[in-house]
Amino acid sequence: MPYRYLDDIATADAAFEAKGATIEEMFTAAADATMNVMVEDLQSIQARTTKRFDLEADDWEMLLFALLQELIYFKDAERLLLRVLNVKMGADGSRARLVAETAGEEIDASRHALIVDVKAVTLHKYRVEQTHEGWEATVILDI
């Protein structure tokens, strides 16, 4: 899996590290890592409905924050569990932008093994970096 949960940096919350050869892969992995805190088996989320996210931020770091926050928003506002199908990054002047195609379905406790709600993305030890191998991020989610 292109993400792993970290044990030693958050007692009551959920921390993960996501990696990707490209920034798009890393963003997709981070999105799955966030959803996987709430749902045990991501394969149980069927693609019954789609949502297109068009997001922008000051930089790549805050753009990832915006993407994860968008997933949390739809979980509450429309009770939707969404996965990123593909994501395209771009820049608009000095702003970082992305367009993401996502798909998923409404929460169904009889089919989705649910774990805990993610309340928010925190900025504690938050990190998005380009490395020799590609891109990686460390994120702590508030539970």
Partner 1 sequence: MASVKDIRRISDVVWEIPVSYKEGMRVPARIYASEKLYRDMDEGVVEQVTNVATLPGIVGRAYCMPDGHWGYGFPIGGVAAMDTRTGVISPGGIGFDVNCGMRLVLTSLTEEEVKPHLRQLVDRLFQRVPAGVGSSGLIKMTQDEFRHAVELGARWCLKQGFGWLDDLEKTEEGGCVAGADATKISDRAVERGYKQIGTLGSGNHYLEIQVVKPSNVFDEKLASAFGITLPNQVVLMFHCGSRGFGHQVATDYLQLFLKVMEKKYSIRILDRELACAPFQSREGQDYFAAMNCAINMSFANRQVILHRIREVFSEVFKRDPADLGMRQVYDVSHNTAKLEKHLVEGQLRELLVHRKGATRAFGPGMAGIPDAYRESGQPVILGGSMETGSYLLTGVAGGEQTFFSTAHGSGRTMSRKQAKKRFQGKKLLADMEARGIYVRTASFAGLAEEAGPAYKDIDDVVEATEEAGISKRVARFLPIGNVKG
Q: By CB under 8 A, name the binding residues for partner 1.
A: 5, 7-14, 38-40, 62, 69, 72-73, 75-77, 79, 107, 109, 113-117, 119-124, 126, 140, 142-143
CB of 22 to partner 1, least distance (A): 26
Rounded Cα distance between 130 and 1, Å, is 19
Cβ closer to partner 1: 21 or 116?
Answer: 116
Cβ closer to partner 1: 59 or 101?
Answer: 59
CB of 34 to partner 1, least distance (A): 12
